[in-house]
Structure 1
Amino acid sequence: RNLSSVACENATGAKRASLRIISSTEQKEESKGGEGKPKMIREYQQIIRMMVKSTIKNCCRICKMEISET
């Protein structure tokens, strides 16, 4: 169980860190008054959020399988 937990944290950790960095970049671009960049950044954020959700769902599925096997 602990190994699965660490694996899930590792799988999502980098993506979540990316979201924080991108959010900071979005705020900087909006304060500059950039026209197209904030929209592009929000679209990229959405893609990463979907990837994080998918990874978490897979981790939950794996954990459920492990629980049902015991």
Structure 2
Amino acid sequence: MSSEDNPSFMHLGHLHESAEQNPELALRHYGRAIEFLRAGDKARASDELRQVLRYDPDFSEALARLGSLSSGGE
């Protein structure tokens, strides 16, 4: 069965496409990252910051914070 004939595949593709086109998701993930940083959970904050950059690669604040975390800062 090709991907065109598989409704589940088509649905997932649509969801992925929608997420990439929604910059509000980047802001939500950024907010979560800040909350995790405040709680001292650097690993989860890093995960959230990576999600921010997935949805908005030009989100400079997220990039800077992730760089700081990667170098042992924050």
Higher fraction of helix: 1
> Could you state the TM-score of these two structures normalised by the residue count of structure 1?
0.46
Q: Whose relative contact order is higher, 1 or 2, with alpha carbons under 8 Å and at least 6 apart?
A: 1
Q: Normalising by structure 2, what TM-score?
A: 0.44
